[in-house]
Structure 1
């Protein structure tokens, strides 16, 4: 997915938020914004948005000498998610369709996204998780379940801290031993790294590898050797979040994109409004349709 003009205000907002998180000096805030404005005036709009996001975050981390500005935010999000997960695990266990409920909750948890909202509350997370169980979903979870259960190897591309706890609830409904979970190669925004994956206990049930990339998405030409190998071996790929959607949409692989539409640019690209829960397979926009749930739903 290319970068659109409407992505530029988001770059500026993220840059200012991160500058303020890293320093209380208004002079640094102004300096950062001027630098970013200079970059975007010359950027290649044909590359996906996570490429510019990475440049901004690399610059700010170096300028402030802080390799992980969102460390405390991620810890808070992980603590909240671990608290909520046991409650929702019980709901999954007693649901009429455990895989479907787990998938919906994993999609709902994509709301824990500091690129959109740094200060999301427990109330907001609970509300979105409940909506994910109740509202219409675009895509076909029945087909997704069929494909992951028949696959020999499943590649699961994680997105955010906190969210990754709910990813575990979905992975538990596959056969975890055949799942390889991919996390970011270095801290960026609140995206999950190996540290957060281990906090979620994923190392106890599945294989965890690094993408080798410090962008909020998957850039295959820069991917780690482990990811390149797993990418080729996988029968089915699950890609969580908008960043992975932005960098991988249109690539000729069997990818299911699971995310909540959280910005107008992505909404326009997929043809569904902000707030929509998505579980779409890599295919042309005109093929999108809402699939029926099982009768027991």
Structure 2
């Protein structure tokens, strides 16, 4: 998926959010944002949004005193999700269709995305989780269920910290397949890394690997050879979040994308309305005035 002009304001917001969190003073923030605005015009819009975001956040980390400026936010969202998952697990267990209910909650967790929004707190997350059982899932849940049932190996690509706790609830409901969960190789925005997978105790239900990349998506050419091997050998790939959709939607294979449409560009490229819960492995682009 190529980058739209409408992605540029989002990149600028991400940069200013990052600098607000990590720069030491207002003078530093202004100096660094001016520096950022000078080189943002050099990026190649023929690349995918995660490829451009990778370049931006690498440069930001290079001029900041930390290599993980979102760490405090990730810790907060992990703690929040950990406090909520026991009650959600009980709701899933009580459902007449636990797998579909677990998919709903996993997609609900996708709102914990600081690449798409500058903040999200307890009240908003709690309200979204309360409404999750009534949310329709668009795409093809029956195809998803069939693929999961037949799979011997599943590769689960995560998106964000906090959200990863709800991913675990879905993994608990998958088939008897061997499940491998892949996180980012290095910090970028609030995307999940190994420490977040360990915080969610993912090791109890799946093997944990990282993809060797610091892109906020899955750019296969930038991933490790081991990850690419796992990706190619998996019977089913579950790809969470908009970043994985942006970077993998043109790839062939048995890839199911689970995400919430959170911006007009994704809505246009996926063919689903804003706010939709999506579980799909094929898409029909719709034309809207977003370019």
Q: Partner residue of 1:108?
A: 108
Q: Partner residue of 1:7?
A: 7
Which 10-residue stretch deviates more, 77-86 or 168-177?
168-177
Q: Partner residue of 1:132?
A: 132
Structure 1 stretches (4+) deviating beyond 3 angstroms?
A: 282-286
SS for the counterpart of 1:116 is coil
Q: Partner residue of 1:81?
A: 81
SS for the counterpart of 2:42 is coil
Q: Does 1:98 align with 2:98?
A: yes
Q: Partner residue of 1:264?
A: 264
SS for the counterpart of 2:188 is coil
SS for the counterpart of 2:166 is helix
SS for the counterpart of 2:11 is helix
- Contact residue 104 and residue 135 of structure 2 kept, 8 A: no
CA distance in 1, matches of 2:148, 2:14: 35
Shift of 1:37: 2.5
In the TM superposition, 1:30-109 aligns within 5 A as 30-109=30-109
- Contact residue 209 and residue 226 of structure 1 kept, 8 A: no
Q: Partner residue of 1:295?
A: none
SS for the counterpart of 1:41 is helix
Q: CA RMSD in A?
A: 1.5
| 1:8-59 deviation line (CA, Å, top 9, x unaligned) | 0111111011011001423332333333323332321111111121122112
CA distance in 2, matches of 1:130, 1:140: 23
Give the gaps of 5 or more residues in structure 1: 287-297
CA distance in 2, matches of 1:175, 1:20: 43
CA distance in 2, matches of 1:227, 1:176: 22
Q: Partner residue of 1:188?
A: 188
Shift of 1:282: 3.3
SS for the counterpart of 2:246 is helix
- Contact residue 270 and residue 283 of structure 2 kept, 8 A: no
So what's the TM-score if we normalise by structure 2? 0.94
CA distance in 2, matches of 1:72, 1:177: 34
Change (3 A) 1:158 1:231: same
Q: Partner residue of 2:204?
A: 204
SS for the counterpart of 1:149 is helix
Change (3 A) 1:139 1:255: same
Shift of 1:283: 4.3
So what's the TM-score if we normalise by structure 1? 0.92
In the TM superposition, 1:153-192 aligns within 5 A as 153-175=153-175, 178-192=178-192
Q: Partner residue of 1:222?
A: 222
| 1:216-272 deviation line (CA, Å, top 9, x unaligned) | 001101111221111111111100000111111111111111001111211122222
CA distance in 2, matches of 1:136, 1:102: 13
| 1:111-135 deviation line (CA, Å, top 9, x unaligned) | 0111123431222112222333212
CA distance in 2, matches of 1:121, 1:176: 35
- Contact residue 254 and residue 282 of structure 1 kept, 8 A: no
- Contact residue 239 and residue 256 of structure 2 kept, 8 A: yes
SS for the counterpart of 2:181 is strand
